[in-house]
Structure 1
Amino acid sequence: MRTARLAGLLYLVVAVCGGFAELGARSTIKASDDVAQALRDSAGLMKVAFAADVVAYTCFLLVGLALYALFKDVHRVAAVAMLTMNAGSVAIQSLDLVNHAGAVLAAQRGADELAVLFLDLHGVGYLIAQVFFGGWLIPLGYLVVRSGMMPRVLGYALIVGGVGYLLGLVVELVAPGADGVALALGVVGGISEIAFLLWLLVKGVSAPVRERVLVP
């Protein structure tokens, strides 16, 4: 029960910090008419967003570890797959912070085109990471369904959410102009994650997993 609640609390930190950095900072700047000038004017905001991302990625890795501890006896292979995707997402997004910092530094030095390029590169890195932070929901959803510790509908919702993230990535790559479709698919993934973290925080798990390892 404590592990589940801890995972929920950490997941909430991820949602708040990550949401602020991506939606409150970078997306706002990208929407500006003069992105480089917006970067200069909002250098302080971008530094706070950088710190928020560091906190979010650290907590996200801890979420993966906590959920692995919770579900490893349900299905070892699925639990390892979940943790691997989680760690892959953290690694890619952490490296992508170099582009975030580069955009601010380039703008402050008057290299406007380079600043915009760094911000665009960060967006590319974010899309690559989406393969992992979307993909990890699929084995996680399977584990939730298999465990019986939470309502199965939550597990199915996570699987659908993971597929939604991955389809959103495909839409971004194949039809970059279809932002509305990609956004809608991303919302599906986001809703499933919010429902899951709220259940962990409020309800926890109904019963411990039986000590067994299931082989596929």
Structure 2
Amino acid sequence: MTAGAVAVRRDGRISGALYLVVVLAGMFCLAYVPSKLGASPAGASAHADLFRAGIAAFLLMQVAFLLLPFALYRVLGDVNRQAAVLMVALAAVSVPIGLVAVTHRMEALSLLEGAPGTASDAMEAAFALCLQRYGHGLRIASLFWGLWLLPFGWLVLRSGRLPRVLAACLLLGGVGYVVQVFGGLWPGIADAGWMAYVRMPAAIGEIGSCLWLLAFGARPGLQRSSTD
């Protein structure tokens, strides 16, 4: 095995480790925590430590997600430099949006800490507003969580450094994110049953890519000119 192939595999495993942090932290703060807390101050107060842990996990996810595309650039940058730069830019843009969004979650935590016991109507309204603003921020961030998958999936497809079935899932998942963000602006579309499934290819592609990179690294694959 050449030194270049060894480096590609090593960089692939580093990317996989960062991806694992993003996946696990994201599942915890975006799925598990909301399912346990609900949207009321009472639920959040009863699980205040879980509420705090969700914020911490979200911050960890953002740090890992900022580093991840740079690690993937080392794996895929020689396939097509312009597409790799676009991949990094689209992923990185989502991080400050996500960090601004989570400040509203922190404001909600401050409300809980400042008003222990039974919540007043004003406090419940302020708490709901914080969560609403957090949700709006996540919607904008999720647009870029989808868009970055398009150049990422295309680079995987061209390079052959990961299974091409994962590339197809990444591309379909990127489109699914975009459809969900824009479709969610219209109630008739947002409430459609099929909207619950449009991001499923992204979940398969991202978790699959994470596990493949972690276990095997990236295959040397096809070599491309950086300006191709």
TM-score, length of structure 2 as denominator length: 0.86
Could you list the runs of 5+ residues in structure 2 that have no partner in the other structure? 1-8, 116-122
Q: Which residue of the other structure, out of 193, 199, 206, is the alignment partner of 2:219?
A: 206
Contact 1:172-1:179 at 8 Å conserved across structures? no
2-structure distance, mates of 1:182, 1:8: 29
Contact 2:37-2:51 at 8 Å conserved across structures? no
Q: What secondary structure, in the 3-state scheme, does the structure 2 residue paired with 1:173 have?
A: coil
Q: Which residue of the other structure, out of 209, 214, 218, is the alignment partner of 1:196?
A: 209
Give the Å deviation of 1:150. Answer: 2.2
Q: Which residue of the other structure, out of 151, 165, 169, is the alignment partner of 1:139?
A: 151
Contact 1:79-1:140 at 8 Å conserved across structures? yes
Q: Does 1:19 align with 2:27?
A: yes
RMSD: 1.8
Look up the equivalent residue of 2:10 and give its one-letter code.
R
Look up the equivalent residue of 1:159 and give its one-letter code.
L
Q: Which residue of the other structure, out of 176, 184, 192, is the alignment partner of 2:197?
A: 184
Contact 2:80-2:224 at 8 Å conserved across structures? no
Contact 2:101-2:138 at 8 Å conserved across structures? yes
Contact 1:89-1:132 at 8 Å conserved across structures? yes
Question: Which structure carries more relative contact order (alpha carbon 8 Å, separation 6+)?
Answer: 2
Larger deviation, residues 68-77 vs 20-29: 20-29
Aligned to 1:47: 52
Q: Which residue of the other structure, out of 85, 92, 95, is the alignment partner of 2:100?
A: 95
Aligned to 2:36: 28
Give the Å deviation of 1:208. Answer: 6.2
**Cα deviation 1:20-64 (Å, max 9, x = unaligned):** 11112134323x6xx021122222111111111111111111111
Q: Which residue of the other structure, out of 160, 165, 175, is the alignment partner of 1:163?
A: 175
Aligned to 1:120: 132
Larger deviation, residues 82-91 vs 180-189: 180-189
How many matched pairs?
A: 212
Contact 1:168-1:185 at 8 Å conserved across structures? yes
**Cα deviation 1:157-182 (Å, max 9, x = unaligned):** 21011111111222322127516433
TM-score, length of structure 1 as denominator length: 0.91
Contact 1:106-1:112 at 8 Å conserved across structures? no
Contact 1:10-1:62 at 8 Å conserved across structures? yes
